[in-house]
Amino acid sequence: MMCQDHPGPGGQESAGPAFSALLEDSAEDLYEHAPCGYLSTLLDGTIAKINATLLGWLGYERDEVVGRRRFADLLTVGGRIYHETHFAPLLRMQGELGGVAFELKAADGTRLPVLVTSTVKTGTDGQAQLIRTTIFDARDRRAYEQELLRAREEAERERDRVQRLVRTLQQTLLPPALSEVPGMQVAAYYHPASADEVGGDFYDLFPLTGDTWGFFLGDVSGKGAAAAVVTSLARYTLRAAAVHDPDPATVLAHLNTVLHHEYRGADPRYCTVIQGHLRPAGDAAAVALATGGHPPALLIRADGTSAFLPDPGGQLVGALPNARFAAVDVLLTPGDTLLLYTDGLTEARTQGRVRYSEEQLRQDLAGLAPTTAPAVITAVTGLLAGFGDGVEDDTALLALSIPLPGGDRP
């Protein structure tokens, strides 16, 4: 730079001779003592020329190498196989190849991680003549790559660990199997939105007294460990309260008191729940339901009519000190199916990215009548599969039905 910027006559005279002396010296010296290895080989890999830098790295004398060894002989055995099966064929096909990682084996047996770039020199007739190879010391880079690799493996292990933990925790929040209810069919499904986080949806179906079963399905606000704590608290509170007094509105009021007491203030935790009990009688079943701020249950009658069960103003559970809840009664008769779901289903984004809706759900399922609990769950899981990643939240489903006489085939 200085020579070009200040080409004064005096400067030229004083710097000129030294500068050109440098230039005269450089061609051969640069080749021999460049800060990288140079190597020229015949097409079969026999080393024809090698610079002093590379000889120094390897600890060989020139005449131990030139005309006696092939490039692949300088590699570790693993590297040689890689060279023969990948590097050499690619180089032959495309004429050049760069930045490939190998390890060189020095005369004393030590290994030197390098990056190798090769080009095939062709003559005027287009025929390949020899291979020129440049070799860079890659110890630092290899150490860095090893560190990256180690960090990635660590991250993958950690992720696996988290996912295992999440699966386990999720399983503890769902019943391993639903209780059997004589004369009825029951089916449930849980669709986790994420493998990395515990979802906040829950359900259960369990015997209360000799002829009565309790059930619930709900959705805790939030996700992850903090939500899982609330889910767990909600589950055992609902089960214990139902044993004490099975009236669904009373059970929800009890849960409301517990949650509101536990999580008041700046970090409120609440949930939406449908709590119910059912009592099979003859070929029918009497169901009582109370809703706490939850999307309404869908009833698909044997005759093809369908409707959402009315909700007499049940409030979110845990948000208010004295929330109101009231129960409704419904009689299920043969061919009727009752579906409880969470809003992960009705707020899923459909193919057109529009959010699905309760009304759309009702229309999609009404055609199944008369149907059964397992058939409805199968239909809805099919819908969820169709939404793909449009299902942004966890989804829980619980269905109850009374089979038609003469089998469960609709």
Partner 1 sequence: MTGTPFSVTTRTTVTGPLVTAEGELDVVTAPRLRAAIGALPLGRGRLLVVDLAGVTFCDSSGISALIAARNVAEAAGAGLALVAVPDRLSRTFGLIGLGDFFPTYPSAEDAIAAHT
Partner 2 sequence: MAPTQHTFPPGGWQDVPVSMRSRNNVTVTGREDGPTVLLAHGFGCDQNLWRLVVPELARRYRVVLFDHTGAGRSDLSAWTPERYGSLDGYADDVLAICHELDLADVVLVGHSVSAMIAVLAAARAPDRFAKLVLLTPSPCYLDDGDYRGGFSRADIDELLAALESNYLGWSATMAPVIMGNPDRPELGEELTNSFCRTDPAIARVFARVTFLSDNRADLAKVTVPTLIIECRNDAIAPPEVGRFTHEQIAGSTLVTLDATGHCPQLSAPEATAAAITAFVGGP
Using CB under 8 A, list all residues that contact partner 2. Answer: 43-45, 70, 72, 76-82, 84-86, 88-90, 92-94, 97-101, 103, 145-146, 148-149
Beta strands in 83-170 (DSSP E): 96-105, 111-122, 128-137
- Tokens at residue 391, please? 């299902």
Return the exposure string of 360-369: e unless at least 16 CB atoms fall within 10 Å of the residue's CB, then b: ebbeebbebb
Q: How big is the chain by its Cα radius of gyration, in Å?
A: 38
* 360 in contact with partner 1 (CB under 8 A): no
Residue 238's H or E segment, with its range, is: helix 224-244
Q: 53 or 231: whose CB is closer to partner 1? A: 231
Q: Are 199 and 162 in contact (CB under 8 A)?
A: no
Q: Residue 407 and residue 410: Cα distance in Å, rounded?
A: 8
Q: Residue 356 and residue 343: Cα distance in Å, rounded?
A: 10
Q: 16 or 89: whose CB is closer to partner 2? A: 89
* 350 in contact with partner 1 (CB under 8 A): no
Q: 175 or 390: whose CB is closer to partner 1? A: 390
Q: Residue 376 and residue 372: Cα distance in Å, rounded?
A: 6
Site for partner 1 in 239-258 (CB under 8 A): none
103 to each of 82, 112, 197, 237, how far by Cα in Å? 11, 5, 42, 64
Edge-first strand order for the sheet with 298-300 is 185-191, 395-401, 337-341, 298-300, 306-308
Environment class of residue 347 by beta-carbon count within 10 Å: exposed (0-12), middle (13-18) or buried (19+)? middle
CB of 265 to partner 1, least distance (A): 5
Environment class of residue 194 by beta-carbon count within 10 Å: exposed (0-12), middle (13-18) or buried (19+)? middle
CB of 47 to partner 2, least distance (A): 13
Q: Which does 145 bind (CB under 5 to 8 A by kind): partner 2, partner 1, none?
A: partner 2
CB of 81 to partner 2, least distance (A): 5
* 261 in contact with partner 1 (CB under 8 A): no
Helix residue spans in 347-400 (DSSP H): 358-366, 373-387
Helix residue spans in 68-138 (DSSP H): 77-82, 88-94
CB of 142 to partner 2, least distance (A): 8
Residue 386, by phi and psi: left (phi above 0), alpha (psi -120 to 50) or beta? alpha
Binder to partner 1 among 223, 239, 301, 362 (CB under 8 A)?
Answer: 223
Q: 76 or 250: whose CB is closer to partner 2? A: 76
Q: 54 or 309: whose CB is closer to partner 1? A: 309
* 272 in contact with partner 1 (CB under 8 A): yes
- Of 117-125, 201-209, 238-246, 269-277, the segment contacting partner 1 by CB under 8 A is 269-277
CB of 390 to partner 1, least distance (A): 13
Phi, psi of 37 (to 5 degrees): -85, 140
Q: 213 or 270: whose CB is closer to partner 1? A: 270
* 225 in contact with partner 1 (CB under 8 A): no
Q: 181 or 234: whose CB is closer to partner 1? A: 234
* 49 in contact with partner 1 (CB under 8 A): no
Q: Which does 61 bind (CB under 5 to 8 A by kind): partner 1, partner 2, none?
A: none
Q: Are 70 and 44 in contact (CB under 8 A)?
A: yes
* 218 in contact with partner 1 (CB under 8 A): no
* 170 in contact with partner 1 (CB under 8 A): no
* 293 in contact with partner 1 (CB under 8 A): yes
Q: Which does 308 bind (CB under 5 to 8 A by kind): partner 1, partner 2, none?
A: none
Site for partner 1 in 119-158 (CB under 8 A): none
Q: Which does 79 bind (CB under 5 to 8 A by kind): partner 1, partner 2, none?
A: partner 2
Q: Which does 43 bind (CB under 5 to 8 A by kind): partner 1, partner 2, none?
A: partner 2
Give the Cβ contact number of residue 328 at 10 Å.
19
The site for partner 1 (CB under 8 A) is made up of 219, 221-223, 264-270, 272, 292-295, 313-316, 319-320, 323-324
